[in-house]
Amino acid sequence: MTTVQLPAHRQPTPVDMIVWLEGEANYTRVHYRDGSFTLVTHPLQWFDQKLDFIRVHRSAIVNPMYVREFKQRKSRAGWVQLHNGKILPVSRSRLTYTDTQLKAVQ
């Protein structure tokens, strides 16, 4: 099991417990499988470099194992739905990348 050491956490966090990450300036809100979240003092870019997650938006990274559905419309709009029903927008510049990455993990 892969883990990541989060700031101010004594124990490493199992990566499969993290559903998605939300950027807030120089902080990141880590959303967990049980519905809880924590705010850590690392920017989203740090997680983007450390984890094999998919960056779907400038302010969101998702764990592909929790993506239930990906939709892309002709208007170049897109979104991902997570296992808990949460819908996150996919930026236009990341539509093709998101589609490719999700197909690679299926």
Tens of pLDDT along 62-92? 999 999 999 988 777 899 999 999 999 999 9
Q: What is the pLDDT of residues 26-39, one digit of tens each?
A: 999 999 999 999 99
Q: What is the pLDDT of residues 47-58, one digit of tens each?
A: 999 999 999 999
Across the beta sheet with 78-82, what order do the strands follow? 67-72, 78-82, 87-90
Assign domain 3-105 to its CATH architecture.
Beta Barrel (2.40)
Distance of alpha carbon 14 from the chain centroid: 14
Using the CB atoms, write b or e for 18-29: b if 16+ within 10 Å: bbbbbbeeeebb
Closest CA to 68 of 56, 80, 58: 80
Give residue limits of the domains in the chain.
3-105
